[in-house]
Chains A and B, each alone.
Chain A
Amino acid sequence: MGAQISSQQRSDHGEVLLVHSLDSWNTRFQNSKASNKLMVIDFSAEWCRPCKFIEPAVHDLAVEFSDVDFVKIDIDELPDVAKDFEVKAMPTFVLVKKGKEQERVVGVKKDELHRIIEKHRF
């Protein structure tokens, strides 16, 4: 399909999916609306050190909650999506179910992120 539209660390389960294109994002988002699965969107930026700080913890959460979709969006690559979700600082984690925002965590807050994923999981 030409240019890389998304990349995955390993498999589709228990990992964080990096979404690079708008088309890829739209597809993902539409799929998410159709299912009952919780989706965690990780908004970050290459130059944001706090985002790098929490990266390992997010991967651990993706493994722990393998039934939850973890998607990572670089706000420089997809600024419109970041704007749609009103992302003003990073990292911002938005929990979405059936296309609707359930809750969000702004900042490096591992315990809180764990708590709300558990809360909205099912």
Chain B
Amino acid sequence: MLPIISLGCLTPHALSPTLSLSITKPPYNTPLPPLLYSTNPKHNPTNTHNLSMAVSGFEGFEKRLELQFSSHDPVTGIGLRQLDFKSLEQVLHQVQCTVVSALGNQHFDSYVLSESSLFVYPTKIIIKTCGTTQLLKSVQPFINHARTLNLHIIALRYTRGSFIFPQAQPYPHTSFHEEIVYLEDSIPHHLCYRKASVIPSKLTSHSWHVFSAGAVEYPDDVPYTVEVCMTDLDQTLARKFFRHPNDGKNGDSAGREMTGLTGINRINPNAQICDFAFEPCGYSMNGLDRDCYSTIHVTPEHGFSYASFECLGSMYNDMADMVKKAVKVFGPATVSVATTNASDDVCMRIKGAVEQLGMKCRSCSMDVVPAAGMVVFQTFTTRRKRI
């Protein structure tokens, strides 16, 4: 067990709680990859941090936010799904991203964004964005919009890996410390159980950052989530996510082709898929299977290649098998798997599945956070890679 850098756990406090801010600075000791200029228009041409982008590559590692709401009304109905499109676009504008495609079913609505994904359930919002988006700026707008529907926030969880280009990140994402301060200021007092944690691995370039806050310390009936981050993708496999010039396709048809050619459609054959291929490269998809979402995002460029696979746990699906299939699509040299509220059995099976691909588990660390439960962070590398 590796030591965890925990930033204090609060006992419930009616007044404004304080989070211990004596944080050990994350170990960004790894040398930076060679200076690269990203020409991918997906990579937010309107972003004010273009200068930073010019001396770094596109940041594939996402920031993820999950907001849980509760209703006073006995019948919630479609809850947050009532939010009109204009309201959603307003919030997305604050985060500097736009809707590229969308698909819904009886359980939730999904949106493919210019910088990742958004899922809207009746009482839950999950938003995941990459690049240099200011994701945390969506917290207050979402809380306010929900209030207009008589829904109040009961839990918030913010997670991310370690940025490949941390110096390219804008406020409030210049450091985990800054993110925590911003979150603390954005959330209401009644979310009094709070904890921030940096879960390390044996790789200095891979840590898992978690901030969790809730009105209840131990929630019941919380489904588990799996977040897989892959770097150093196999070049031949990554090339499948590049558009061909003059292919006569649009982003939708090119995306659908990539989904089939790469086998992404076989990860969960029961899922309805909403996909998109960016120019000149890059790919995103959302999967809908009953009330479970899954999502994949790919930054295929050499030097900072990245792919993520995230999925909500369900009794209908074999998570370990899905993770294995997803990793096989990309052939990465490094894989990190973060699970939230998953059983030991699920964690062990995922470990076994990734090892079956010939990768070696380098670390397994965990921490318990309020409102979300146990967070387990495992890292794997190919056997030939030296740490």
Contact = CB atoms under 8 A, between A and B. Distances in A.
Interface residues of B, number: 26
Contact of A48 (B101, B104, B250): B104
A50 B109 contact: yes
B253 A112 contact: yes
B105 A89 contact: yes
B83 A49 contact: yes
Nearest to B289: A88
B99 A53 contact: yes
A13 to B, nearest CB: 27
B166 to A, nearest CB: 34
A16 interface: no
Contacts of A81: none
The range of chain A's interface size is 20 to 34
Interface string A77-112: 000000000001111000000000000011111011
Contacts of B88: 49
Contacts of A28: none
A61 to B, nearest CB: 14
A115 interface: yes
B253 A50 contact: no
Given A89-B103, A106-B272, A106-B274, A49 B109 contact: yes
Interface in A38-54: 45, 47-54
A88 B102 contact: no
Contacts of B256: 112
* SS of A interface (majority): mixed
A89 B85 CA distance: 18
A53 B104 CA distance: 11
B309 interface: no
B247 to A, nearest CB: 13
Nearest to B82: A47
A74 to B, nearest CB: 13
B81 A89 contact: no
B78 interface: yes
A41 B105 CA distance: 17
Contact of B250 (A50, A52, A111): A111
A112 B257 CA distance: 12
Nearest to A55: B85
B103 A49 contact: no
A50 B102 contact: yes
Contacts of B101: 107-109
Interface string B256-295: 1000000000000000111000000000000010000000
A33 B105 CA distance: 29
Interface of A: 45, 47-54, 88-91, 105-109, 111-112, 115
Interface of B: 78, 81-85, 88, 99, 101-105, 109-111, 120, 250-253, 256, 272-274, 288
Given A50-B109, A108-B101, 10 more contacts: A50-B102, A50-B110, A50-B111, A53-B85, A88-B105, A89-B104, A91-B103, A106-B272, A108-B99, A108-B103
Report the 8 A-B pairs with minimum CB-CB distance, sorted nearest first. A50-B102, A112-B252, A111-B250, A107-B103, A89-B272, A109-B252, A108-B102, A107-B274
